Amino acid sequence: MHRAAVGGVLATTGLLSLTTLPAAAETERTTPDCDNVKCVALTFDDGPGRYTDELLDILDENDAKATFYLLGSKLDSYTEEVERMVDEDHEVGNHTWDHADLADLSAGEIKEDLDRTDKAIKDVTGQMPTTMRPPYGSLSDTARETIDKPMLLWDVDTLDWQHRDPETTVDIAAEETDEGSVLLFHDIHETTVDAIPDVLDTLSEDGYEFVTVDEMMGSEVESGSAYSDARSLD
């Protein structure tokens, strides 16, 4: 918890120097066995952004793992946050360079956009993203044929970007989540980050464990196919 407090101070001052943070979590995490516990994947799109560091503090305090679908164009401004995601065992995925509607692009343009974003993520994390999420959930036949990663959609849309109300975000998450759900949020909105402590509390009370997309579905998803949740794998 000491670590979270340090992160909070950094977030409010905006002075990011992660070299001052203690290096590793106190205890090794055991990955939940999603065959025996109710797993869900929280996913955060369109970042990283100015509230991402605070979100990482909240996730850390609750030992919750999440998946971040990043825009390549934003990485340069938030490299510390992206390094922190990977250091703290969150998953990082590709959400295109600048939120293009892939249904409007040619095969060559799609490939160029996703490759550029993959490279930007790998430059920061050292790892290639294994899954991608199409902006707006929009896919053409060309996009489906071109994209050589699993395409991760969602089954619980909190509409956080639209209503910008933390209580509504919590209510939708509580009402619509089921075992194996993939929940969609956007950490570029302060109102979304404000909702996350209650989202975690409420879903924890219902017995859910928070894992990455890879932990929940990684061994079963295939390149070039689209998935909305873990139930769609059965």
List of residues contacting Zn ion (CB under 5 A): 45-46, 135
Residue with smaller CB distance to Zn ion, 8 or 135: 135
Residue 142: exposure state from Cβ atoms within 10 A (0-12, 13-18, ≥19) = middle
| String of DSSP letters for 30-73 | PPP-TTTSEEEEEEEES---TTHHHHHHHHHHTT--EEEEE-GG
CB of 56 to Zn ion, least distance (A): 19
Nearer to Zn ion, 135 or 197 (CB): 135
The CB-of-68 to Zn ion minimum distance in angstroms stands at: 11
- Exposed e or buried b for every residue in 173-203, given b needs 16+ CB within 10 A? bbeebeebbbbbbbbbbebbbbbbebbbebb
Tell me the C-alpha to C-alpha distance, in Å, between residue 231 and each of 39, 138, 161, 182. Answer: 11, 21, 26, 10
Give kind and range of the element (H or E) at residue 217.
Answer: helix 213-217
Query: Which CB atom, from 34 or from 143, has the smaller least distance to Zn ion?
Result: 143
Choice between 45 and 209, CB closer to Zn ion: 45
Q: What's the closest the beta carbon of residue 31 comes to Zn ion, in angstroms?
A: 27
Say how far apart CA 151 and CA 94 lie, in whole Å: 10
Structural element, H or E, at residue 208:
strand 208-210
Could you give the CA distance from residue 231 to residue 224 in angstroms, rounded to a whole number? 18
Sign of the CA dihedral with 17 first, then 20, 26, and 28 last? positive
Give catalytic residues, as residue numbers.
45, 186
Nearer to Zn ion, 46 or 91 (CB): 46
At closest approach, how far in Å is the CB of 218 from Zn ion?
A: 21
Min CB(99)–Zn ion separation in Å: 6
